[in-house]
Amino acid sequence: MGSISSGNFRTDRKATIDACLCLDLRQLVWLGAVQPGARRRGIIHWPPGASREYAGTMAYLSDLRETPWLRLTYGVQHLEQAEQPIDQVEVYIALVTTPLHYGGGRWWLRCPLVIDGQACAQRAQTLYLPLEEGARFGCKHCHRLTYGSRQSRWPTWRKEWPAITAQDVDRTEARVLGAVRRRAEGKRETAKREKADQG
């Protein structure tokens, strides 16, 4: 184990996790954006970070009722083609679950990347989007990522959580249909009372 000035300090730097947009399934579950047996949609927002100067925002739709999946929709602006329209990207990510010894299950994201014609499909709790042209969400292995603390002389402890808003589409539609049904029933009751009064 060498010091910060020894030959063990690596200079061949890889892309770092700190500079990526991180899609953490545990955060999505904790915030209610992904919920077993439900359909959710909303917005994911990443504020600028210490190792990332840019903010990121994208729409998501999750459906865990039958065949669980998560869809991400976002725009990509190429830096050298600022006058061109923003490219719209839509990514589908499969979700799977594994049983736990003490009951229940643990949810995982399937890496959607295809490398050299081979689909990765590796289970991961977090997928990463490097901020470079042509990049897509994928696991740490596919993007060959490392932690910024391994390339820094000083440790870093900062962990960023995106601000997520979630809207349950099914419950929203049920509330709207319920309100329409109650209004129709109220009109029928009013018509019956008016008819009875006239009779």
More confident position, 28 or 78: 28
Question: What CA–CA distance (Å, rounded) separates 138 from 126?
Answer: 9
What is the pTM assigned to this prediction?
Answer: 0.69
3-state secondary structure of 10: coil
Question: What CA–CA distance (Å, rounded) separates 121 from 113?
Answer: 7
> Of the spans 11-25, 60-74, 132-146, 157-171, which averages the highest pLDDT?
60-74
The yes-or-no verdict on residue 154 having pLDDT over 50 is no
- Per domain, the residue ranges of the chain are 20-168
Q: How many CB atoms lie within 10 A of CB 23?
A: 24
| Residues 164-186: tens digit of each pLDDT | 666 666 666 666 666 667 777 77
| Residues 50-66: tens digit of each pLDDT | 555 666 788 899 999 88
pLDDT in the model for residue 96 = 94
